[in-house]
Structure 1
C-alpha cells in the first residue's frame, strides 16, 4: 500500500574550490574560492602590449586519474598503491582519497608548490609513512584531509597557510605544538574518533591560531576540556569522551561560542559549578545529555535556545535553574528520574518562548504544576501519571500536541473537563492507559486522536460530538462492540480519513461510516459478513483491512467493493474461514483459512 521514495545522497563536485569530505561520524563540506589577484596567475602570459592572455598548461596526468587545465587532479578510488609520481607542478587540487597509499615523502611533495588542497583520506597511511617536512614546505596548502587512515601521531609541523585539517578516524595519541599552532588562517580542525588523552595534547595547542571557529574532538579519551581554546570558536564538539570535570575558566573567553556538545561523558553536578557556562553569552545549543547529572545545573546562559538534559539522573527542577534562560525554546528532559513533587511550581516562570518540553520516561505521578504557558508540544508519555484533575492543564492555552500515552490513567481519574481550555490542541495521545470508556470533553480542535491499547468497552453518547476537524482516530486493541458505540458516532466525523478499529470485538462493519474515509482497519475482530451496502457511503476509500476475522467466501458479497473506484488495497487474507469449514467453526476465536489478499 505504501510508496517507497529514494533519497538523493549528498553529492559534491570535486572541482576547483569544492571538496567533500566524510570522516567517521562527522561530515564536513569545505568550499575554497580562489580570489582574483592583481598579479597574473600561473598559465597566463603577457603579450607585447602588456595584456594578459590565457595560455594552456600542459599537464601530465597519472594513469586512471582525471585532470583539468586549471590544476585539478582526481585520483579518487582508483586502487593506487603509491603516491603518483607524474604530477604537474601546477597541480592545485589533488584528490587521492579511497586508495591504498601507505607512504607520502618529501620527494613526492617537493615540486607541488602550488598545491592548495590535498585529500588523502581513507588510505593506509601510518605515522612512519608521512614525512613531516613534506607538508611543511607546501606554503599554499589550505585544506588537508587525512581522515580514515592509521596515524598514531599527527605531523609535527603543518604549513602556516592551513585553513582546515581533518584527522578524524585515525589512531592518534599525540598532537604537537606546531601541528595546529601558529596558523593564523586556521578555521576548522577535525580530530574525532581517535585515541587522544589529556597527556597527548600540548599546552595551548592552538597558540597563534586565534581564528579557529570549528573544533571537533568527539569520541576520544579526554578527562578535561583542552586549555587555551581560541576565542573565535563558535562550534565545539567534546561528546563521547571521559569528561569528569570542567575546570574553572575553561570556557571564559569563548564569547562567540554558539554550539557546545558535551553529551555522553561522565559529568556530575560536582564537575560543573555555577560559573561554568555563565559567560557563554552567545551560546544557543547546549547538549549535556547522557551524563551523571542529578539536578539542572545553575548558571546556564540566558541566550540558550535548545537545552539537552535527557538521559541523566535528574530528580527535580529548582525554582531558579531555568528561569534566567529567557530565550529557551526546546527543553529535553526525557529519560531521567523526575518526580512531580520535586519540580518547583515556579520552575518555568518567565520562559515565554519555551514551546517544546519532553519529559517522557520519568517518574512523574501527575502533570507538573507551572508548565510553560506558551508550550505547544508536551510529551509526558511513559510516566506513572494516574490522575488528571480539572485544572491540571488549565494554563496550557497554546498547546497543539499532548502525549499522555502509557501512563496509569483510568476513566474515573480523568476529569471530564480536564481538556476544556485546550482549544488549539490538534494531536492527543492517550494510548496505553487503563481507560474504560472514551473520555468526554475532548477538544473539538483535534486532528489526531489515539486511544489504542486501553480497556475501553464503550464510546459513550456525545464523546465525538463536534469533532469536525478529526482526520485520524485510533481505538485499536480495546474491547469495543458495535452496540457499545453510540449511533451516529461516525457521521459526526466529517473530515475523518483514517479509522483504526482493529483488535476489538466487532461483529460487522460499522454502519454510517463518513464519506471522507480513506483507510479502514478492522483486522482482528469477529466480523462474519460483509454486506453489499457495507461501503456504500465511502466512495473515497483506498484501503480496507479485514484480515483475521470470521469471513468465508460465501459471506462476502461480490458487490461490496465493486463501486469503490479509488480502492488500492483490500486485505481479506490469512486468518479468515475457509469455504469448507462449518458454521460451528465461526465461533472460534482464531479461525484460519486461505489467503485472499487483494492488491488492486
Structure 2
C-alpha cells in the first residue's frame, strides 16, 4: 500500500520562529550567495572573474539581480526581445557578453537600441550571433576587441559601423547572406576595415562575396573567405596582408555535381578558381592555406614558392589527379606538415595509385590524407615516393574502394603510426580471390560522395589523426583502421607485416568467424581490438587467446548469431585473457549462454547494455551468478536490458569491488536497497529512467561509500524523513523528472551534517503552498548547488503559479497569513471570554463566589498535607534480625521500587535511613509520620516484637487523626497470620492493602505483585472503617 506523505504541521508561531532562526544562524547563505542562487543562472567564481551562465533559460529579459562585479555574462539561446542601455546599467565591469541566438520563435529579430553597450567600458568580447540583426549595433564600447555577428541578416557594412571600436582584433561576419533567403551579396563598402589597425582575425565566409574586399588592414593574421562566389584572385588582392598566417578560400568554385547544398559554379574556364601566379607571393608568413572545393585542375609552382612557413595545405574536393601524378608544386613545399588531397577524383576510375616522385621532397610531412582517389589495388611501388619521408606518421587512404593490398608494404615506412584503410572493399581472403576482384569482377562501382560541403577535414584533431578514430584507441599507440570494408573472414596470412600495431579497428565489416585463437597471431602487441558491428560467433574457449597483451575488446553490435536459436555461445575465453581490462558486449541481445558465469581476474569494466538479462534471470535458467567471478570488476553497465525486477540472489552475486553500477533505462519497478550493504566500495549508482516509486528510508545505513545517486526520470512521489541522515559520502543526488510534489526539510541534513554538494530537482510537479516553507528555509541555510533552480524547478500547483519558479513563491506570505489567522482567532476568543465572564458574573454571582471559596480552601488544605506528610513514599518495617527478610527487602523490594520502571520516591529503611544515636521511638515516629504509607513485611516471629506493635499503633493514630489509611501488609511467607481474624477483616474492608508474595517463581505473577504494591503505596486509602473511627473519636 502506498505510504502517506510526511507532512508535519507547523503553527504560525513555529513557522515564524523557524524563519527567524534560519535567517539569523545562516550567514554563509545570506547576502550575495543566496541572491546568486535565486537567479536563473549558474555562477562561477574563479580568481578575480565572476561569470554568470544564463543560457538556455527561456528568459524574456536581462535578469535585474546580477551582481555589479560580474565580469562575464552568457545570455545566449533565450527569448529576449529588446535591449536598451538600462538592461546593463549596473554591469560596467563586464568583459564578455554573449547574446547569441535570441531570435524569438515568432521570427522577430532582436531589437538593440542605440548606445545599448556604450556604458560597458570594460567590455572586450561581444557575441551577437543568430539574432536576425539587419545592421551593426551603434555605440559599441571603444575597448571592444572581439565582435561576433554571424548568422544574422546584415546586408551592408560601412566604415561607420566600426568607427568607435578601433581596438578591435576579431570580427566574425560569416553567414549573413547564404541560402535561398538571400538573393544578393554582402555589400562591403571601401575602406570598411582599413582603419582597424589592430584587427587580426576577420571571417567573411558564407556571404556570396564576389571579390576579396579591398583595403584590408596589414595587421590581419587570419582571413576566412570560404563558401563565397569569388572566382578570381588578382595579383594585388592579398599583397598588403604581409602578416597573414591563415587563409581560407575553400568552396568558392565548388564541383556542383554532388554537393548537398545550393551550389553556384564559377563562370570561368573549367569552372575553376582563377588565381594569379603571384597572388600569394607577399604572404611569406602564411602557415595554413585552404584551397579545397575550388575545382582546381592545376597548381602553379609560383603560388607556393614564397610560402616558406606553410605547414598546413588543404586541397581536397578539386580535380587534381593529374597534379598528384606529376606534382611539380610539391618541390617547393619542404616545410608542409599536413596535406589533404582527398576527393580529387573527377569521375574517372583508376586501377592504380600514381604518386609523383616529388612527394619524396616533402621532408616535413607528418600527415597525408588521400581519400577517394578510387583505385582497385595498392601495391608496394604505389607508395614508393613516401617511403623516404622520415616524419610521416599518419597515412589516410580511406574511401578508395581498394579490393586488394599487402599490409607488409607499410613496413617500409620509418615512422608510420596510423594507417587508415576505412571504407574500402578489402576482403583479405587470398591473393587469388582478390585478384579476381581487381581484374573486373565486381569492379566499376561508381561511388556516390555525400559529404556536407567542400571544406571538410580542417579541425585541429584531423590535422594529426585519422578521422572517426576513438581517442582511447589512439592512446594505445600505432593504429590500423580497417573498418567499413568487406571483410567476412580473418585470414592470418593476409594480416602480416604490422606487428607493432596496438589498436586494430575492424568494425562495420561482415566478419562471421568462430574465433579459435589463431586469427591474430601476427598482432602480438595488440592492446585494443574493435570488432563492433559484425557477425562474430563466440563459441570456442580459446578465442583471442593469442592476444596476450589485449586490454580492450569491443564486441558490441554483433547480435546476428545471438538471435539464432540452438547455437552455443561461450564467454569462457575471458579466463585466458589475463590483461583484458575493458569488455564491450553491448547491443547483442544476449539471452542465453553456454556458461552460467563469466570468469576473469583482470576485467575492470564491462558494458552489457542492450541485451536480454530479463530472459536470462528468469527462474530456472540459473544465470543469477553470471557476474560473480569477475573479481576485479569496478564498472558494470546493465542499462537497456528490459529488467522489471532483479532477483535477490543476483544482488548478492554482484562483484564486491564494484565502484560504478548502471541500471538505467530498464523499466525497473522495484529495487532492493539493502543490496548496497553487499557493495562496500560502490561510489556511483545510476537508476535513472526506470519506474521506481519508492527509495530507501535511509541511505547511510545501507552504504557508506556512495558518492553519486541518479534517480532521475522515475515515478518517485515522496522521500522519507531522514532520507540522507548520516550520508557523509553522498555528494550528488539527482531527483529530476520525478513526481515529487512536496519536499520536506527533514529529508535532508542541515549544517555540518549536510555533505550534499549538488541536488537536481527540475522537472517535478512541485506544489507551491505553505507546506514548501521548510524546504525554502533549507535551501537558504545550506550551500547546495541546485541546477536550474530559478528556471527549471517550477510550480505545478496552484494553477495561477503553474510554470513559475518555486523561488517566485514568497515564503513571507505564509508567515503573514498565519499571523493574521492567529490574531483573528485570539481576538475572537478574547471577546467571547469577556462576554461569558460578564454574563455569568451577573446571573450567578453568589453561587460562583461560594464555589470558588470552597475550592480554594480545599486546595490549600490538600497542598498543606502533601507538603508536610510525604518526605518518603513508604516506610518499610521488616525483621532486621532475619537475614532472609533483610536480603529480600534490600536487594529485591528496594531495587524494584527505587530503580526500575515507574519509580517511587525514596523508601525509608531502618538499616539505612534511621539516625544513629536517636531514640528508637523518635526514629519510628518520624518514619511513620513522614511516609505516605507504612509497609509491614510480615515473617514468622516478627509480630512478637514490641517495635512492630508500636508502629501499628502509630499508623492507627494517623487513621484516627487524618482519616488516611497508611498501612500496607506484605505477607512474605504464606503461613503468617493464616488464622488471624483481624487480617481477614482487613482484607474485606481494604483488600488492596494486603499483598502476598507469590508462592511460585512465576515472572508474570511477580510482575503483577510489584505493580499492585506500587499502586497501594501511591493511592490514598480512605476506607469505610476510617470514616467510622473518625466519627467515633471526634464525636461528629
**Structure 1 residue 272: Cα displacement:** 4.2
Within-5 A mapping of 1:541-560: 542-544=709-711
Conserved in 1, the CA contact under 8 Å of 2:548 and 2:577?
yes
Conserved in 1, the CA contact under 8 Å of 2:644 and 2:670?
no
Residue 451 (structure 1) aligns with: 608
Residue 361 (structure 1) aligns with: 508
**Structure 1 residue 216: Cα displacement:** 2.0
Return the alpha-carbon distance in structure 2 between the equivalents of residues 119 and 473 of structure 1: 46
Residue 87 (structure 1) aligns with: none
Return the alpha-carbon distance in structure 1 between the equivalents of residues 225 and 579 of structure 2: 54
Residue 494 (structure 1) aligns with: 657
Return the alpha-carbon distance in structure 2 between the equivalents of residues 598 and 95 of structure 1: 42
Cα 1:64–1:530 change in 2 (3 A) is: closer
Return the alpha-carbon distance in structure 1 between the equivalents of residues 293 and 338 of structure 2: 17
Residue 383 of structure 1, aligned match among 534, 540, 551: 534
Residue 275 (structure 2) aligns with: 201
Larger deviation: 265-274 or 205-214? 265-274
TM, length-normalised to structure 1: 0.62
Return the alpha-carbon distance in structure 2 between the equivalents of residues 308 and 317 of structure 1: 14
Conserved in 1, the CA contact under 8 Å of 2:520 and 2:546?
no
Residue 635 (structure 2) aligns with: 471
Residue 572 (structure 2) aligns with: 416
Within-5 A mapping of 1:260-299: 260-263=339-342, 266=345, 272-275=353-356, 278-288=360-370, 292=374, 298-299=383-384
Return the alpha-carbon distance in structure 2 between the equivalents of residues 171 and 346 of structure 1: 48
**Structure 1 residue 432: Cα displacement:** 1.7
Residue 166 (structure 1) aligns with: 224
Conserved in 2, the CA contact under 8 Å of 1:222 and 1:243?
yes
Residue 255 (structure 1) aligns with: 334
Residue 473 (structure 2) aligns with: none
Conserved in 1, the CA contact under 8 Å of 2:511 and 2:536?
yes
Within-5 A mapping of 1:499-518: 499-500=662-663, 503=666, 509=672, 512-513=675-676, 514-515=678-679, 516-517=681-682, 518=684
Residue 322 of structure 1, aligned match among 410, 415, 429: 410
Within-5 A mapping of 1:49-128: 102=156, 121-122=173-174
3-state SS, counterpart of residue 529 of structure 2? strand
Residue 289 (structure 2) aligns with: 215
Residue 519 (structure 1) aligns with: 685
Return the alpha-carbon distance in structure 2 between the equivalents of residues 140 and 570 of structure 1: 49
Residue 303 (structure 1) aligns with: 391
Return the alpha-carbon distance in structure 1 between the equivalents of residues 222 and 719 of structure 2: 71
Return the alpha-carbon distance in structure 2 between the equivalents of residues 386 and 453 of structure 1: 17
Residue 334 of structure 1, aligned match among 483, 487, 496: 483
Return the alpha-carbon distance in structure 2 between the equivalents of residues 501 and 81 of structure 1: 49
**Structure 1 residue 444: Cα displacement:** 2.7
Return the alpha-carbon distance in structure 2 between the equivalents of residues 182 and 557 of structure 1: 70
1:403-454 Cα distance to aligned partner (Å, 9 max, x none): 1101145583545125623415235334325461386554433332122333
**Structure 1 residue 175: Cα displacement:** 1.4
**Structure 1 residue 115: Cα displacement:** 11
**Structure 1 residue 290: Cα displacement:** 6.7
Cα 1:127–1:470 change in 2 (3 A) is: closer
Matched length: 507
Return the alpha-carbon distance in structure 2 between the equivalents of residues 129 and 339 of structure 1: 58
**Structure 1 residue 477: Cα displacement:** 1.9
Residue 431 (structure 1) aligns with: 587
Larger deviation: 391-400 or 210-219? 391-400
3-state SS, counterpart of residue 406 of structure 1? coil
1:68-117 Cα distance to aligned partner (Å, 9 max, x none): xxxx9x99999897999xxxxxx9x9989779574779xx9xxxxx9997
Residue 246 (structure 2) aligns with: 188
**Structure 1 residue 214: Cα displacement:** 0.7
Residue 238 (structure 1) aligns with: 315
Residue 179 (structure 1) aligns with: 237
Conserved in 2, the CA contact under 8 Å of 1:530 and 1:560?
no
3-state SS, counterpart of residue 233 of structure 2? coil
Larger deviation: 229-238 or 274-283? 274-283
1:249-277 Cα distance to aligned partner (Å, 9 max, x none): 25344222222334566486658425575
Q: CA RMSD in A?
A: 6.1
Conserved in 2, the CA contact under 8 Å of 1:459 and 1:485?
no
Residue 897 (structure 2) aligns with: none
Cα 1:425–1:217 change in 2 (3 A) is: same
3-state SS, counterpart of residue 417 of structure 1? helix
Q: Is it true that 1:569 corresponds to 2:732 in the alignment?
A: no
3-state SS, counterpart of residue 494 of structure 1? coil
Return the alpha-carbon distance in structure 2 between the equivalents of residues 219 and 199 of structure 1: 9
Cα 1:102–1:523 change in 2 (3 A) is: closer
Which is greater in Rg?
A: 2
Return the alpha-carbon distance in structure 2 between the equivalents of residues 359 and 273 of structure 1: 27
Higher helix share: 2
Return the alpha-carbon distance in structure 2 between the equivalents of residues 507 and 119 of structure 1: 57
Residue 556 (structure 2) aligns with: 405
**Structure 1 residue 236: Cα displacement:** 1.6
Conserved in 2, the CA contact under 8 Å of 1:546 and 1:572?
yes
1:477-533 Cα distance to aligned partner (Å, 9 max, x none): 26898669668412x3333331428649999748744334442549779x9999989
Conserved in 2, the CA contact under 8 Å of 1:318 and 1:344?
no
Larger deviation: 326-335 or 117-126? 117-126
Residue 38 (structure 1) aligns with: none
Cα 1:459–1:205 change in 2 (3 A) is: farther
Return the alpha-carbon distance in structure 2 between the equivalents of residues 116 and 544 of structure 1: 48
3-state SS, counterpart of residue 322 of structure 1? helix
3-state SS, counterpart of residue 251 of structure 1? helix
1:336-391 Cα distance to aligned partner (Å, 9 max, x none): 4344447854445243xx54443322223347635644444332211122246555
**Structure 1 residue 234: Cα displacement:** 0.7
